[in-house]
């Protein structure tokens, strides 16, 4: 069985933490099934990345590189992935979670006549066969499964394994030629932009996820809405704690419907059924109420605490480790003072 690990090379010339995590998972699988690992690199220049992981033990380092592949677009990425899979003669293909692979690999799978699964959160081996674990129905049902069709392409979730660490080493690169196609230029990537103006509030590497619920923009004890103060409290807390900001759907939707809103929120902050399920060691929820979609957004948060006025909150009871029954405005004011004096 031939195993190929596909890694995207950043324009810096190196691999991301997510790519190194995926490499660790691929190496583990390779060891457990007793099949050597091939690495396929894609990017504008791949040599530094190959050196970065040169000591990982892979037997081949294949690379597709050209300036055209600095553009994260479907047509060129799918062509490159197809070429790498064919060159490796791969039966099992693993790739790390990234928007770029998620866009391009399904089409490449069709081209090589394979099967593809995404959001793989664990890889094991049973009877010498790879077993994948993933969630269905948006993190509500978890399943283990295997496939008989090959090649089997799997997109691995971030955090599936510790990031690979090891000394750099020079490797023998095998360049895979992919003729450029003028049709690729129908799509031109113009760049990136932040989803919200001002400070970036989505921080995937943060230790803490702070989730703001709709209660922040509801009438408070004095019968008034205090959205401006709410926004300031949250903004200060994010600055002082370094937390990433998440939001319930109801609060984000207010932003789009012209209600009194928190300007630092966009749909990209939303967690839950139609949002993300981010991975952070800790999570603090404030002014959230309990619904199943909300729980979904917190599936991969290890330590969970909540500040809520309702001691029987369906979200917090049984789902948070600690529920503080208190006014979030008062708690956050004090908390910000304490964090300022650290």
Partner 1 sequence: MSVGYHIVVCGSLVPDPLQTLEPVETPSGPGLRNEAMLPAVLDPWAAHALYEAANLAKDTPDSRVWLVSLGPKAKLQQLMMSVAQKAPFDLVALDGSAGGFTDAHETANALADAIQQIEGLDHTRLLLFGGWASASRDAGVTLHMVGERLGIHDQFAGVDQLNPLPDGSFTVKERIEGGQYQVSRCAGPPALLAWATGNLPEPPNNPQVGMANMRGVMPALQRSKPVAITVGDVAFGKVESPKQRRDTRVVKDVPPEDIARELAEWVRG
The values of phi and psi at residue 192, to 5°, are: -125, 160
As a residue count, the chain comes to 342
* Distance in Å, CB of 236 to partner 1, minimum: 13
Q: Are 268 and 195 in contact (CB under 8 A)?
A: yes
Binders in 175-194 for partner 1, by CB under 8 A = 183-184, 186-194
* Distance in Å, CB of 75 to partner 1, minimum: 4
Site string for partner 1, 240-279 (x = CB under 8 A): -x-x---------x--xx--------xxxxx--xx-----
Residue of 280, 287, 305 whose CA lies nearest to 220: 287
CA 159 to CA 293: how far, in whole Å? 22
Among 67, 102, 219, 228, binds partner 1 (CB under 8 A): 102
Stretch that binds partner 1, among 24-32, 54-62, 147-155, 160-168 (CB under 8 A): 147-155
Q: Are 210 and 237 in contact (CB under 8 A)?
A: yes
Among 91, 111, 175, 279, binds partner 1 (CB under 8 A): 111
Binders in 24-63 for partner 1, by CB under 8 A = none
* Distance in Å, CB of 255 to partner 1, minimum: 11
Closer Cβ to partner 1, 61 or 315, answer by number: 315
Note the Cα 222 to chain centre separation in Å: 41
Residue 249 exposed, middle or buried by CB count within 10 Å (0-12, 13-18, 19+): buried
Closer Cβ to partner 1, 203 or 226, answer by number: 203
* Distance in Å, CB of 57 to partner 1, minimum: 28
């Amino acid at each position: 069985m031939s195993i190929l690990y596909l890694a995207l090379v950043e324009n810096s010339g190196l691999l991301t933490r997510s790519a190194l995590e995926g490499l660790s998972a691929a190496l583990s699988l390779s060891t457990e099934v007793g099949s050597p690992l091939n690495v396929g690199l894609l990017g504008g220049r791949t040599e530094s990345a190959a050196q970065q992981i040169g000591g990982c033990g892979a037997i081949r380092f294949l690379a597709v590189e050209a300036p055209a592949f600095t553009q994260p677009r479907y047509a060129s990425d799918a062509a490159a992935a197809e070429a790498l899979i064919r060159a490796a003669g791969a039966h099992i293909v693993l790739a790390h979670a990234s928007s770029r692979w998620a866009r391009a690999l399904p089409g490449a799978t069709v081209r090589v006549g394979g099967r593809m699964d995404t959001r793989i959160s664990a890889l094991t081996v049973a009877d010498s066969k790879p077993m994948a674990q993933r969630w269905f129905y948006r993190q509500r049902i978890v399943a283990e499964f295997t496939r008989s069709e090959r090649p089997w392409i799997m997109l691995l979730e971030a955090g599936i394994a510790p990031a690979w660490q090891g000394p750099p080493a020079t490797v023998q690169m095998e360049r895979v030629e992919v003729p450029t196609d003028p049709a690729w230029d129908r799509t031109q990537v113009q760049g990136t932009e932040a989803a919200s103006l001002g400070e970036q509030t989505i921080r995937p590497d943060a230790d803490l996820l702070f989730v703001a619920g709709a209660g922040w923009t509801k009438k408070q004890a004095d019968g008034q809405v205090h959205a401006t103060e709410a926004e300031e409290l949250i903004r200060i807390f994010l600055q002082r704690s370094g937390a990433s900001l998440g939001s319930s759907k109801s609060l984000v939707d207010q932003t789009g419907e012209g209600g009194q809103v928190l300007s630092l929120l966009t749909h990209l902050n939303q967690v839950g059924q139609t949002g993300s399920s981010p991975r952070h060691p800790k999570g603090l929820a404030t002014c959230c109420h309990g619904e199943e979609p909300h729980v979904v957004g917190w599936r991969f948060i290890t330590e969970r605490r909540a500040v809520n006025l309702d001691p029987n909150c369906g979200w917090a009871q049984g789902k948070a480790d600690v529920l503080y029954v208190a006014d979030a405005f008062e708690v956050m004011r004090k908390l910000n003072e304490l964090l300022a004096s650290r």
